[in-house]
Amino acid sequence: MALGCGFDYRGGGWVARFAGTGIAERGTGKLIQDRSMKTKLKRSLFAAGLPVWWLLATALAGCQRAEPAAPASQFERQGDRVVIPEQSVLRGQLKFDTVRAEQIQSQLSAPAVVEADPQKYANVFPPLTGRLLRLQVQLGDTVTNGQLLATLQSPDFFAAQDNYVKARSVEELTRHALKREQDLQTNKIAAQKDVEQATSDYESAKIDLATAVQQLSTYGFNVETDQLGQPLPVFAPLSGQVVDMASAHGEFRNDNTTPLMTVADLSTVWVTASVAEKDLRFLAKGQDISVSLAAYPGEKFTGKVAFIGDLIDPDIRVAKVRIVFDNAERRLKPGMFATVNFLGFPQTQLTVPTTAVVQSGSAAFVFEQVKPWTLQPREVKVGAQQGDRIIITEGVAAGASVLAKEGVLFQ
């Protein structure tokens, strides 16, 4: 005799079934409660010639609660296609959208950096080496073109002044000597060769004096108004602000290629963008353009295109585009990072919901509904995102029905 058992849940309690005995009994914590049922079970077991306790224990040990049936598949694969069966719950969950042909004006951008106008920015170098006697300005001061910035005690400058004094004396002596020889020649006392020699000496002295004057003028010294013996002056080359200071009182400057300070007029600045070669056609000189800066998130600054570079960088295929910005409030500071934003020409483009695109490695896919509830994966090439939709440049046709989202279920 083979015994078996099972359990069903009916009407709020478990029902025990014993195969081979015809017994099915409801119980809540005890397998069999009714005495008549126990008697019936014993008789059946005795008929088999086996002890009741052994048979009952063996039968109960083999009892297992029935496992629920596995749910039916919600979709099927037919080759590379996905079929949603009629009984699938996915039919009530999946949404579809249409591939639209829309007029899109692409939002383009390029990295940029804020720069000072080179014509309004100058490093101030000492013309000669020497000891820095005095700084007339400090960092942040406003200066005007030609204003005295500093003075240096320079041996070379004093030597240039000495050369000027000597050249002026020689010029004066040779001028008087020439006049004397000319007077003597008029009175038929001096020879012609003496006059010619005096003339040559005088012309040479004039050249030496002019050279000495020019040298002092190069150092900012005016022989007509400035007093000899004064230290070397350093003047502002333009109007603006002292934006950098690299010197101190009493410092000996033995390298005149290192600037004392930097003066810049930052009332206008440049934003220099590196624009990709393919996007240059969307820009023109004088065009209004907006710029966003990392320093001021959420704000937009508007300027005009002043210059579009004529040369393309052969390595990264970009050209320099400079935009001029008014900077009266000094908010734009040279060195700040920026992003230049501009619009392309309106074009007809195909778009799908952004959620319709499924990425698989380096490839992108959408699921096209080729017939009711039959999906065909299509590899696509995507462009820029436009709000909650994305441009498709290749892979599907306008008007096609595509799965709007949940495409990852079928990867």
pLDDT at 61 over 90: no
Q: Where are the beta strands (DSSP E) in 213-258?
A: 232-235, 240-245, 252-253
Whether residue 358 contacts residue 411, with contact meaning beta carbons closer than 8 Å, is answered with yes
Q: How far apart are CA 10 and CA 24, in angstroms?
A: 12
Q: How far apart are CA 6 and CA 14, in angstroms?
A: 10
pLDDT digits (tens, 9 = 90+) for 26-36: 443 343 444 44
Other beta carbons within 10 angstroms of residue 275's beta carbon come to 22
Averaged over 12-29, what is the pLDDT? 42
Residue 198 burial by Cβ neighbours in a 10 Å radius (0-12, 13-18, 19+): buried
Q: How confident is the model at residue 380 (pLDDT cuts 50, 70, 90)?
A: very high
CA distance to 35, 81, 327, per residue, from 29 (Å): 16, 52, 87
Please give the structure tokens belonging to residue 265. Answer: 């007029």
pLDDT for the residue 69: 38
Other beta carbons within 10 angstroms of residue 269's beta carbon come to 26
Pairs from 68-77 (Cβ < 8 Å, separation ≥ 24)? 75/409, 75/410
Least confident among 44-53, 156-165, 248-257, 372-381: 44-53
Averaged over 376-404, what is the pLDDT? 91
pLDDT digits (tens, 9 = 90+) for 73-111: 789 999 999 999 989 999 889 999 999 999 887 778 899
Q: How confident is the model at residue 338 (pLDDT cuts 50, 70, 90)?
A: very high
Residue 92: phi, psi to the nearest 5?
Answer: -90, -5
What HEC string does 353-382 produce? EHHHCEEECCEEEEEEEEECCEEEEEEEEE
pLDDT for the residue 4: 44
pLDDT digits (tens, 9 = 90+) for 294-304: 999 989 888 88
Residue 305, C-beta contacts closer than 8 angstroms, at least 6 positions apart = 283, 284, 285, 286, 287, 289, 321, 322, 323
pLDDT digits (tens, 9 = 90+) for 279-290: 898 888 888 888
pLDDT for the residue 107: 77
pLDDT for the residue 51: 52
Q: How far apart are CA 115 and CA 112, in angstroms?
A: 10
* CA pseudo-torsion sign 300, 302, 305, 306: negative
First to last CA, the chain: 52
Can you say how many angstroms the Cα of residue 392 is from the centroid of all Cα atoms in its chain?
25
* DSSP label of 192: H
- For the chain, give the percent of residues with pLDDT over 90: 36
pLDDT at 23 over 50: no
Least confident among 30-39, 177-186, 298-307: 30-39
Other beta carbons within 10 angstroms of residue 397's beta carbon come to 11
- Of 388 and 104, the structure prediction assigns the larger pLDDT to 388
Q: Structural domains in the chain?
A: 4-61 (no CATH), 82-105+347-410 (2.40.420.20), 123-261 (2.40.50.100), 264-342 (2.40.30.170)
Q: What's the mean per-residue pLDDT of the chain?
A: 81
Closest by Cα among 28, 34, 60, 30 to 52: 60
State the number of CA atoms in the 13 A half-sphere of 109 facing the CB: 8
pTM for this predicted structure? 0.54
pLDDT for the residue 312: 93
pLDDT for the residue 2: 41
* CA pseudo-torsion sign 313, 316, 321, 326: negative
